[in-house]
Amino acid sequence: MRPLSLPAARRRAADVLRRVTLPSPWSLEDFISGIAAARGRPIVVEPATMSHHAVRATALWVAQPELDLIVVDDTASELYCENATLHELAHMLLGHEGLPVPQQAGAPAQPTEPTRVLHRRHHTDQRELEAETLAYAIWRAAGRRRALTTAHTGSNRLLTSAFEFPGKAHR
């Protein structure tokens, strides 16, 4: 496995961010609508209890033949759910693909494009690092950086500081 490269992830995030339009004032719903329109397919965000266990997916993207479904953990804070949604949208914007869902025996034949799943649990590969970096870049560009760094402490502050650019101070 190749080592992770934060500089490469930042470059990819900057490239994508130059090509997307952020709504002003910021609205996650409007941002999702813009991405859906650009992709030519609906995007549905569905809250659900992901798991009651410590090791769990906190969000996942299910690329179905007719729509993109983002499932976010409904036990998480609103801030966390918004970040998880941005992370899954970042996978779409970066052109990442999930794993095909295997067809069950006896099930009707799948359409030509299989359902694919990509879930947010660990940041152990370059795709996850790129998606998290782009999600953070979108937060910053949308002016939401302050909400991430001052509204909450603990893990949200750690997440934010992990992606800080050198020489930039928290506001």
Domain ranges of the chain: 6-101+111-159
Model confidence, pTM: 0.74
DSSP state of 112: S
Q: Residue 147: what pLDDT? A: 52
DSSP state of 155: H
Name the residue with tokens 């500089």: 7
* Model confidence pLDDT, tens digit, residues 78-137: 888 899 999 999 999 999 987 776 655 555 555 555 565 555 454 568 898 999 999 999
If one compares 51 and 149, the residue with the highest pLDDT of the two is 51
Non-local CB neighbours of 133 within 8 Å, separated by 6+ positions: 6, 9, 10, 12, 13, 90, 163
Radius of gyration over alpha carbons of the chain, in Å? 16
Looking at residue 6, its amino acid is L
